[in-house]
Structure 1
Amino acid sequence: MPRRRYPTIGKGDDGLWHAWVTVGTKGNGRPDQRHVKRRTVEEAEERIDELLEQKKSGTVVKAGRAVNLQQWLETYLDTVAPRRCDPSTVYDYRSKCRNWVFPIVGKVRIDQLRPDHLDKVYLGMQRAGKADSSILKMHRILTRALEIAYRRGLTPRNVAKLIDSPTAKKVEVTPLTEAEAIAVLNSAQTTRRRNAARWSVGLALGLRQGEALGLRWPYIDLEAQEIRVWWQLRRRVAEHGCQGKCGRKRAGNCPKKTLPMRSGESHLSGGLVLKEPKGTSKRTIPIPDELIEVLREHREVQKLERQYAGAAYVDHGLVFAHADGRPLDPGHDYDDWKDLLATAGVRDARVHDGRHTAATLLIAQGVALEVVQEILGHSDIRVTRGYSHVATAMARDATKRIGRTLFPKGGTP
């Protein structure tokens, strides 16, 4: 078989060096030739070698001028990511790219991207004091976007895979103690707080905030003592319906604003929607006897509120709602939690720490990890196992208290 000749390089009337490189065959059967045009012979040879290497490895980039990184990420976030990701997730991705990628390396052509370009993005985030978890998320966004670009022949490689992934320190779980959890529930009851049962459900069953606020009566069977966690309440951010032509920075002020929705979701009011939990979070869990009575009392109070509201009542079937049936805003729910902690004299904690509390209490009481995983809706047992060291400490403290009770100092066994 004759050895293929190196492409001929010649100087044109424009003073530049030209060459034609055959890198394959087009869909119509004709040769796919790429025109190389450079200022020096060395630059032309470098580009020819690059094309020949791409041909050898089967990673030839599509013909035409490559888009820059900003153009590709905008295309990815507009047309690719929405097919797999929640609209709120895409909004978060777009915000991160706009703040940290576009200003630094957004104008770099995607086929000329180098690992050090991404290093600049991560270093910029680090110097700005961003959390390690945010930097890691940025890396995952770029890795996925560049992988899609590579598969579509827009770039000869995924440079995000050529660098070490940023590391994020594991966040220590800080649940409430058993005494603190009891103090919170007692305070909610004694102060006759509206929707006090919301915190009983959250702490007893370890529901996420969105899952608790998205509970509906048709999915609760008090006779069978089961609760189906099939929905969660989420706030969505509005998008421009005018393609940005209105001139308003905030999409919420756009005259043609739209609310991004996915199949199967329900719009309640404002930007609040009901959506299915992701992954294995959709589950059916048993309700403790004591919590059954709490829910029965809460339902009776809600029936009275409905009678008082009359025609003004908006019936979404929500277990926890305003007096007129409107859904509870996650932000107001957060404020209520903070106020409840202060009233109970308990240290400050996040709403999500209530979920951590339920997990550690279950494990401390000897419930198998697999059962705790099922109750909490963890997709991976390793997440559940992360609570073990905290629960073990709580169990050890409990046994010490039992020991002091049964065998007081100086007493006889």
Structure 2
Amino acid sequence: MARNEPAKRKPNGRSSIFFSEADGKWHGWVTMGVKSDGSPDRRHRIGKDEAEVTEKVRVLERQRDAGKTRKPGKAPTVTEWMTTYLETICPLLVASGKLAPRTLDDYRSKARLWIVPLLGMHRLDRLLPEHMEAAYAQMYAAGLSSSTVLKIHRILSRALKIAVRRELLGRNVATLIDSPEPADFEPKPFALEDARRILKAAEGRRNSARWSVALALGLRQGEVIGLRWEYVDLETGEIRPWFQLNKAAWRHGCSDPHACGEQWHKPRCRKNCRVHRHEPGCPKDCARSGHRCPKRPCPKDCTGHAHRCPQRQGGEAVFRRRKGKRKPILICPPELLPQLREHRDRQRAERARMGDAWEEWGLIFCQPNGRPLDRTEDWKAWKALLQRAGVHDGRLHDARHTAGSLLAAQNVHIRVIQDILGHARVTTTQRYVTPPQELVQDAGQRMGGALWGTPEKPNRN
């Protein structure tokens, strides 16, 4: 190789390596392709000796030949790429129905609280598995559960996967480490007698049929809240729960969210907290004493206190397709139809009393003025109902697990239960089905009879 060879004297596209007396270093140029404007995409590498530059040139050539050429220019940091991913790419997924607005809000929250503070300073192409493992260790030390850390890992892995597709990265480093193990969760479906107590306690209360629908059909909370009369046939009993009702997050409508949120943003450190103790003005023993950290203004994309903004925006309720591509048609139990007809008559009476104050959404279960039910208030009503029924405490989603378990107890085929619950995989349905203890005892008695009992003789007549 010639010394002092000009950098751009390779019209045939071959790489060039030469020594420059101007700076006393070796330089390498590699043609990686063609830029968007039609000019050659030439990458430059520099080093102290020829061997170092030769190795750098060979790395670029291997990337080019393997079709893993990174776009020209400096690679973005993790913070810059997460901003692009959450503010440009994900909103398109929300608009197309592939991503729920509430899911995007959760992505933004976890990125703001954990991904950016712990990994945001790294360049995307220099992010190593060791960096991610150290960040996860800090999350565990801050008291996060393994399920939350797993969610953060999946968010980051998905963002890096898109970066690889767009040739910003050569590999997804999130796939090089073992993903965090989710915490073992045992659902607590209600037994048949407990389910009957719940329905008995709901009698006479407003929207009592809402809990009958949840336990009989296993619909999700958003699906029950978003169920409309036009998708229910009270003659044939067909129910088409094709939509969920979700509420968009509140956004600051003022010009300075920092000043607006300053009076509300007063985080208190949790036990073993490692997030706030190094912030300016925070005492060294903040994590141990639970000291209230100094006031901090809301970050630019904070929505935690946007509902208190005098000029707040968003918060509207929107219908979106339920999970999955299927459009199931469920058959309402005959015993439930009279409850729905009675509920419709009471709702018509409420509409007549409200007059012009009634807002017509077409919802089956709504507030006294016709507006959609609030998720939090719906959850509170469920908790109060459990106390009134005298059964064990449980999540609202446990009603869905209860429906699956009760269907299995009635010898309904697992594939039918899968269609009713709307699962894409039967393995998901199996996690929703918990055999009643009576069936487990019966199985033990049958096995004992088969092994040690006297089998009945077949009747040959």
Q: How does 1:130-149 map to 2 (within 5 A)?
A: 130-149=144-163
Post-superposition offset of 1:333: 0.4
Alpha-carbon contact 1:220-1:227 (below 8 Å) kept: yes
Q: How many angstroms apart in 1 are the aligned matches of 2:50 and 2:249? A: 53
Q: How many angstroms apart in 1 are the aligned matches of 2:152 and 2:121? A: 18
**Corresponding residue for 1:153?**
167
**Corresponding residue for 1:105?**
119
Could you tell me which runs of 5 or more consecutive residues in structure 2 were left unpaired when the two chains were aligned.
Answer: 1-12, 94-98, 261-297, 299-304, 445-461
Greater fraction helix:
1
> Deviations for 1:7-46, whole angstroms, at most 9, x for unmatched residues?
4343564566543233344456654221224577776555
Alpha-carbon contact 2:248-2:316 (below 8 Å) kept: yes
| Aligned pair partner of 2:190 in 176, 187, 195 | 176
**Corresponding residue for 2:199?**
185
Q: How many angstroms apart in 1 are the aligned matches of 2:133 and 2:234? A: 55
Alpha-carbon contact 2:32-2:43 (below 8 Å) kept: yes
Post-superposition offset of 1:171: 2.0
Which one is further off, 118-127 or 234-243? 234-243
**Corresponding residue for 2:366?**
321
Q: How many angstroms apart in 1 are the aligned matches of 2:355 and 2:39? A: 75
**Corresponding residue for 2:221?**
209
Q: How does 1:86-105 map to 2 (within 5 A)?
A: 86-105=100-119
TM-score, normalising length: structure 1: 0.84
Post-superposition offset of 1:397: 5.7
Which one is further off, 202-211 or 225-234? 225-234
Specify the code of the residue in structure 2 equivalent to 1:303: R
Post-superposition offset of 1:110: 0.9
Specify the code of the residue in structure 2 equivalent to 1:122: Y
* 3-state SS, counterpart of residue 33 of structure 1: strand
* 3-state SS, counterpart of residue 164 of structure 1: coil
> Deviations for 1:321-357, whole angstroms, at most 9, x for unmatched residues?
1222121101000000111111111111000001111
Q: How does 1:286-305 map to 2 (within 5 A)?
A: 286-305=331-350
Could you tell me which runs of 5 or more consecutive residues in structure 1 were left unpaired when the two chains were aligned.
Answer: 260-269, 401-413
Q: How many angstroms apart in 2 are the aligned matches of 1:182 and 1:343? A: 13
- Residue 272 (1) aligns with residue 317 (2): yes
Alpha-carbon contact 2:239-2:331 (below 8 Å) kept: yes
Specify the code of the residue in structure 2 equivalent to 1:113: L
Which one is further off, 234-243 or 137-146? 234-243
Q: How many angstroms apart in 1 are the aligned matches of 2:414 and 2:162? A: 37
Post-superposition offset of 1:5: 8.6
**Identity level (%):** 44
- 1:399–1:152 Cα change, 3 Å: closer
Q: How many angstroms apart in 1 are the aligned matches of 2:45 and 2:403? A: 65
* 3-state SS, counterpart of residue 377 of structure 2: helix
| Aligned pair partner of 1:195 in 203, 207, 216 | 207
Q: How many angstroms apart in 1 are the aligned matches of 2:29 and 2:396? A: 63
- 1:21–1:396 Cα change, 3 Å: closer
Q: How many angstroms apart in 1 are the aligned matches of 2:349 and 2:34? A: 75
TM-score, normalising length: structure 2: 0.76
Alpha-carbon contact 1:280-1:378 (below 8 Å) kept: no
- Residue 362 (1) aligns with residue 407 (2): yes
**Corresponding residue for 2:274?**
none
- 1:10–1:242 Cα change, 3 Å: farther
Alpha-carbon contact 1:100-1:124 (below 8 Å) kept: no
Alpha-carbon contact 2:17-2:54 (below 8 Å) kept: no
* 3-state SS, counterpart of residue 70 of structure 2: coil
Q: How many angstroms apart in 1 are the aligned matches of 2:396 and 2:77? A: 41
Post-superposition offset of 1:387: 3.6
Alpha-carbon contact 1:215-1:320 (below 8 Å) kept: yes
Q: How many angstroms apart in 1 are the aligned matches of 2:44 and 2:257? A: 39
- Residue correspondences, number: 385
- Residue 62 (1) aligns with residue 71 (2): yes
**Corresponding residue for 1:77?**
86
Post-superposition offset of 1:381: 1.0
Which one is further off, 21-30 or 163-172? 21-30
